[in-house]
Amino acid sequence: MTTNDKTVTPSSGNVFADIGLEDADELLIKADLAISIAAILKERGLNQTAAAKALGIDQPKVSRLLRGDLYGFSIDQLIRLLGVLGQKVRVTIETVKSPPKAGARAKRRAKAA
């Protein structure tokens, strides 16, 4: 293979699923919510200390949130934080082209392990 040869793999639309993570759908939702929170904080020009005060959480949690370290944050908590920022969260449900087969997720998990 030369340096100009490139392999492109199309994404499913969920990077977490693409790399075989078990809770891919939940991780994507949490990431989308965190990205929205970060964008609002940036738009308002809030530093981490001011953001922590506005959100009612401590500064280290704000730091983790802004770095994408979402372990310990629930979807509910992230939605609550958006509410504190004056945002309304709506859930959209879409039909996927072809739902994954029952054993597909288990096979991906076993392959990743």
pLDDT of residue 68: 95
pTM of the full structure: 0.75
pLDDT at 106: 54
pLDDT, tens digit, 9 for 90 and up, residues 10-38? 888 899 999 999 999 999 999 999 999 99
| Mean pLDDT (the chain, rounded) | 87
| pLDDT, position 70 | 95
- Fold designation for 15-112: 434 Repressor (Amino-terminal Domain) (1.10.260)
* 59-67 and 48-55 helices, crossing angle to 10°: 110
Domain ranges of the chain: 15-112
Average confidence (pLDDT) over 107-112: 53
Q: Which two tokens stand for residue 50?
A: 């001011």
Report residue 100's pLDDT band, with 50, 70 and 90 as the boundaries.
low
Q: What is the pLDDT of residues 71-93, one digit of tens each?
A: 999 999 999 999 999 999 999 88
- The pLDDT of residue 102 is 54
Dist CA 113 CA 1 (whole Å): 29
